[in-house]
Chains A and B, each alone.
Chain A
Amino acid sequence: MTFWNDPIHFIAEWLRGLFIGWGMSGDVANVLIALIGAVVLASVAMVLDILLVWVERKVVARFQDRLGPNRLGPFGLFQPFADILKLIIKENITPAGADKVPYNIAPILAMTAVLLLWAVLPLAPTIFGVDLNVGALYLIAAGALGTLAIILAGWSSNNKFALIGAFRAVAMMVSYEIPMVVTLLIPTILAGTMSLNGMVKAQDVWFVVLSPLAVIIFLISAVAELGRAPFDLNEAESELVAGYHVEYSGMKFGLFYAAELLHAFTFGGFMAVLFFGGWRGPWAEQYPLLGLLYFFVKAMIGYWVFMWIRYTMPRIRIDHMLAFNWKFLTPLAFVLLMVTALVDKALAGAETWVYALGMFLANVVVAWVTVEILRAYSRRRRLEEEAPAKQVIRTGVEGQAAHH
């Protein structure tokens, strides 16, 4: 074992030797090393978050045909540090009548919920916080904590805008959680494990090839779960000012903002892990640091797609949003789950390429049937709408005939 093929354990072993040399017992040394690991991983996430502020501002500027921050440092790279400094020295205003305890817990919880996701994110073959055997379930559980932070913030702010924003966030979360959980079941079936690192290891063929529809459903429900446009009803600035965090200022607002950005990047990472082969790439097995690079590139591309969607789509209306989920996404996700299970069972003993081809074709068939159903439905709707108009024209023609 050298640094290059297992860096984390190499450092951990070295630290362990050091701590035991200082006269600690093995158990204490282990816990201390785990704590150091957790601090390092969380700090990496936070530093990345600072970078994401810059990336987000720069990319949105490009989408809107602007330059973005370009004064502080090369390409405006130091802008986020100035932002943080500004947020720290700003006054934290607590509105009168606010419920103090939940009001102060909410921003911390928002950040904690996102950081907790990083504990299971497999960054490279041997670089990850912990490889839980129920990783997929943990992902859902920790992801839902963020919504709790939103409703705490909305309820405790003593502001109607904030409260309405929180209600909307909950309606959205409870709706889009269903297709997300169901699409998480699909990689679970394909990999035969809930462990996220196990899923990456099982992706000899990327799951995006096996189940492209699941990727699309997961992407849409992830955007809704993140509360980003077109599903940003919880902070719709044209109607609710800023939604659930309208009463927050200074660093407390900053934490909500940072949590949102890091959440988006983390879900980009989960897209990469679940469907795009995570850290897999040439020589990633031998050199985990290379796997780390692959993972971050894939996660960044996922994050870029989230930004692309956010700055391209207009906001969706709440009844449309709920109808889109319950009447389209959820049934489609369940049908896809059943088809995936059946095809998996039918092709259990087949060779890899036969299995992959069968899965892919099954997805194509499901997509095609969905499009056909939608087309038939919209045709029926159109005919119903046109029917009275046609009648008027006919009577008009008949009237003319009678006149002649």
Chain B
Amino acid sequence: MVDAWLYIGLFLLVGIVIPGMAIMISWLVAPRKPNPVKQSPYECGVETVGESRVQFKAQYYIFTLVFLVFDVETVFLFPWAVALGKLPLFVALEGIVFILILVAGLVYAWRKGMLEWV
């Protein structure tokens, strides 16, 4: 049997090739007759006004920032969760304290009104 991550690598290769093949077959058989009307962006028949890549709402950015804090820190919780059965009570409680600090961050963001969609 091969190394687990080598298998994942092979699987990634297969996972790219199979959908790639579907597109390739379609590329071979499907007609190609582009014209300007067909290629215009679909906006329910109305001409596009201005640049299509519009600026995004700042609120998305703030949610992403809150997410970043949580996601990075929950990754630290995984080793703790795996070893919980073997850890002494003190270390288990330290994990709880760590979660409480995370929750304090959430409460802070909440109180600051960061979680409102305005």
Q: Is there contact, CB below 8 Å, between A107 and B23? A: yes
Q: Return the contact of A159 from the options B6, B43, B81 (Cβ within 8 A).
A: B43
Separation of A238 and B92 alpha carbons in the complex (Å): 49
A114 to B19, CA, bound (A): 11
Bound together, the chains give a CA A344 to CA B60 distance in angstroms of: 37
Say yes or no for A334: interface residue by CB 8 A criterion. yes
Q: Does chain A have a CB within 8 A of B57?
A: yes
Q: When A and B form their complex, which 3 residue pairs have the shortest distance between CB atoms, in order from nearest?
A: A319-B117, A251-B26, A174-B67
CB <8 Å contact, B30 and A92: yes
Which residues of chain A have C-beta atoms less than 8 A from B92's C-beta? 341-342, 345
- Chain A nearest CB from B19 CB (Å) reads 4
Interface pair B81/A188, CB less than 8 Å apart = yes
A97 to B29, CA, bound (A): 24
A192 within 8 Å of B (CB atoms) = yes
Known: A171-B60, A319-B117. 13 other contacts (CB 8 A): A31-B6, A38-B13, A43-B18, A91-B32, A95-B40, A115-B14, A115-B19, A189-B81, A241-B42, A252-B26, A327-B110, A331-B106, A337-B77
Interface size class on chain B is 35 or more
Chain A 97-138, CB-CB to B under 8 Å as 1, else 0, gives: 100000010011011100110110000000001111110111
Q: Which residues of B contact A323 (CB under 8 A)?
A: 115-117
Main SS at interface, chain B: helix
Give the distance in Å from the alpha carbon of A252 to the alpha carbon of B24 in the complex.
10
Binds B, one of A177-185, A292-300, A396-404: A177-185
Chain B interfacial positions (CB closer than 8 Å to A): 1-2, 4, 6-8, 10-16, 18-20, 22-23, 25-27, 29-34, 36, 38-44, 48, 52-54, 56-57, 60, 63-64, 66-67, 70-71, 74-75, 77-78, 81-82, 84-85, 89, 92, 95-96, 99-100, 102-103, 106, 110, 115-117
Q: Are A116 and B63 in contact (CB under 8 A)?
A: no
A134–B110 alpha-carbon span in the complex (Å): 33
Nearest CB on B from A41, distance (A)? 8
Query: Is there contact, CB below 8 Å, between B81 and A185?
Result: yes
Contact assessment for A342 and B96 in the assembled complex, using a CB-CB cutoff below 8 Å: yes
In the bound complex, do residue A112 and residue B60 qualify as a contact, i.e. CB atoms below 8 Å apart?
no
- A30 to B52 CA separation, bound complex (whole angstroms): 50
* Contact between A326 and B115, CB atoms less than 8 A apart: yes
B84 adjacent to A31 (CB under 8 Å):
no
| Closest Cβ–Cβ distance, residue B49 to chain A (whole Å) | 9
Give A125 Cβ to nearest chain B Cβ, in Å. Answer: 16
Q: Which of B19, B43, B115 contacts A108 (CB 8 A)?
A: B19
CB–CB A97/B26 < 8 A: no
CA distance A130 to B22 in the complex (A): 26
Given known pairs A107-B19, A251-B23, the reply for A171 and B63 (CB within 8 Å) is yes
Q: How far is the CB of A189 from chain B (nearest CB, A)?
A: 5
User: In the complex, which residues of chain A have a beta carbon less than 8 angstroms from the beta carbon of B84?
Assistant: 189, 192, 341, 344-345
A160 partner residues in chain B, CB cutoff 8 A:
41, 43, 48, 52, 54
Instruction: Enumerate 20 A-B pairs (CB-CB under 8 Å) in ascending A order.
Output: A34-B1, A34-B2, A88-B22, A92-B30, A108-B19, A112-B12, A116-B11, A160-B43, A163-B54, A171-B64, A177-B71, A178-B67, A181-B71, A246-B42, A247-B41, A255-B23, A322-B117, A338-B100, A342-B96, A344-B85
Q: Which residue of A lies closest to B67 (CB)?
A: A174
A231 near B: Cβ within 8 Å?
A: no
* Contact of A5 with B by CB under 8 A: no
A31-B6, A338-B96 known; A178+B74 contact, CB < 8 A: yes
